[in-house]
Amino acid sequence: HVQLVESGGGSVQAGGSLRLSCAVSGYTYNNYCMGWFRQAPGKEREGVAGINSDGSTTYADSVKGRFTISQGNVNNTVDLQMDNLEPEDTAMYYCVAQTYCTLEMAAIKALGVTQYWGQGTQVTVS
């Protein structure tokens, strides 16, 4: 049973930084791709950043150069360092474990990718 617990959200002024962390349990790491997704009020969920078991990463165009996903210093954690935050980054952020590495929601649906979601952590940029 896969469980994901996020932490590190909060409120920050534009230009500031936050670091999100996700503690993962109940899975075999090499079987999953880890990612961060977000959903703003009134908007669709979107993939933000992903990291494969081999360490390769992918980012949404809107966050490239500002966000960095990494395997955490503690075993079975995945972090998202967010720098130069913008008001448009305001959203609920979710840690996701999925069986195929893609950030595209349409592909996830079309391919029937299995996803496990955390409860989310709020990020507010003003």
Question: Secondary structure of the chain in the HEC alphabet?
Answer: CCEEEEECCEEECCCCCEEEEEEEECCCHHHCEEEEEEECCCCCCEEEEEECCCCCEEECCCCCCCEEEEECCCCCEEEEEECCCCHHHCEEEEEEEECCCCCCHHHHHHHCCCEEECCCEEEEEC
Q: Is the pLDDT of residue 126 over 70?
A: yes
Taking residues 42-59, report their average pLDDT.
94
For residues 80 and 72, the model is more confident at 80
Q: Is the pLDDT of residue 90 over 90?
A: yes
Residue 26: pLDDT band (50, 70, 90) is confident
- Encoded tokens for 65: 């150069």
pLDDT value, residue 30: 66
For residues 10 and 72, the model is more confident at 10
Residue 91: pLDDT band (50, 70, 90) is very high
